[in-house]
Amino acid sequence: LLVDKGNHRHFMAKEIYEQPEVIAHTFSHYLDLAAETVSLPELPFDLAQIQHISITACGTALYAGAVAEYWLERFARVPVSTDIASEFRYRETPLTPGGLTIVISQSGETADTLASLRYAKECGQKVLAVVNVPTSTIAREADAVLPILAGPEIGVASTKAFTCQLATLACLSVAIGRAKGLLSQDDEHRLVRAFMEVPRLMTEALKLSPEIEVLSRTLAKAQDVLYLGRGTNFPLALEGALKLKEISYIHAEGYAGGELKHGPIALIDETMPVVVIAPHDRIFDKTVSNMEEVAARGGKIILVTDPKGADEAHVDAVQKLILPEMPATVCPMVYSIPVQLIAYHTAVIMGTDVDQPRNLAKSVTVE
């Protein structure tokens, strides 16, 4: 293997720590830094003409797509549906003209994602692949490719591919918004400047590692962990739960904050930690209510937030991980770092095989 772990104990740690550098590389590919604009390579279809978008993928790539759904609807005002590739391919989803299908895959070889791509093409959709391996089957068969440029990812649990997928999809969302005349030049400059801050913000986030290591000792004792988030932090909650179960084998579930009352609240007691991913946003008070509901039942909360959020979360039994304040659009990228570190440190404490977790494969090329 040409890639080594450097000074890290695991490939996963190395891949978490290299994110500021690799995401800077991805952004530099899709941004014109001097002009503060998004600059995608030429695509064989007109972004302004896209009427609807279907996103399909598996695992972590699916959650990157679920985040992008929020951005695409917000910046490009296009209806988006995000779907599990194995469902999409068999559901016979009606796909009408003017549609773009975005397939997201680190390896570019996932069987269900590839089958979804073929189905979308048969239905006359334009297909755009967001992949890490540019020579992959998915990249070859798509109408256009946006490589995420994360470099080889060895850890089975995806980390840097996720954040670089997000970076690429964020740039695409802005590009479509601009092509449709929905984003002013000022909006675009503001977003691009926020993207350019991501590597620095990620470096700040990595400094939480020692604190997370301490918190993880509590998580390692848990049987179940609940992750909550709202907006783009909802798919990040799903990703956090996935990451934890994949490498620590602790049962975890991700939920949208608003759904707490519709089921998972029944599980809350003093033995069930709840990880709340909540920067201070316009619905932060709703998240505070969720935390009060958890605290009232003896639940222990780990709140990943910013200084304002930390100030306003007057709830018992909350341990806080505080990130710098940042524009909402970049939150899912930067908040990925503590989410990944929580899973990583917990798994290391549990003594599992972090880079090669049992029963999982890096790439699932059979159904």
Closest CA to 216 of 192, 186, 240: 240
Which single residue is written with the structure tokens 């590389």? 25
Which part of the chain contacts ligand G6P (CB under 6 A), choosing from 15-23, 151-159, 286-294, 314-322?
A: 151-159
Q: Which of 54, 82, 113, 159 binds ligand G6P (CB under 6 A)?
A: 113
Q: Which of 127, 146, 156, 208 binds ligand G6P (CB under 6 A)?
A: 156
Q: Are 28 and 199 in contact (CB under 8 A)?
A: no
Which part of the chain contacts ligand G6P (CB under 6 A), choosing from 27-35, 150-158, 204-212, 285-293?
A: 150-158
In the complex, the smallest distance separating the C-beta of residue 199 from ligand G6P, rounded to whole angstroms, is 23
In the complex, the smallest distance separating the C-beta of residue 28 from ligand G6P, rounded to whole angstroms, is 23
159 in contact with ligand G6P (CB under 6 A): no
Question: For 140, what's the count of Cα atoms within 13 Å in the CB-facing half-sphere?
Answer: 5
How many residues bind ligand G6P, per CB under 6 A? 16
Joined tokens for residue 132: 């890490």
Q: Which of 56, 107, 137, 287 binds ligand G6P (CB under 6 A)?
A: 107
Closest CA to 22 of 151, 147, 133: 151
Closest residue to ligand G6P, Cβ-based? 59
Q: Are 102 and 50 in contact (CB under 8 A)?
A: no
364 in contact with ligand G6P (CB under 6 A): yes
127 in contact with ligand G6P (CB under 6 A): no
User: What are the strands, taking DSSP E only, across the chain?
Assistant: 31-32, 37-38, 52-57, 80-84, 99-105, 126-131, 144-147, 224-229, 251-256, 274-277, 301-305, 318-322
Which part of the chain contacts ligand G6P (CB under 6 A), choosing from 55-63, 70-78, 261-269, 347-355?
A: 55-63
Which part of the chain contacts ligand G6P (CB under 6 A), choosing from 44-52, 75-83, 153-161, 225-233?
A: 153-161
What is the spatial distance between Cα 169 and Cα 254, in angstroms, rounded to a whole number?
22
Annotate 259-269 with b (16+ C-beta within 10 A) or e (fewer): ebeeebbeebe
In the complex, the smallest distance separating the C-beta of residue 280 from ligand G6P, rounded to whole angstroms, is 30
Q: Which residues bind ligand G6P (CB under 6 A)?
A: 58-61, 105-107, 110, 113, 156-158, 360, 362-364
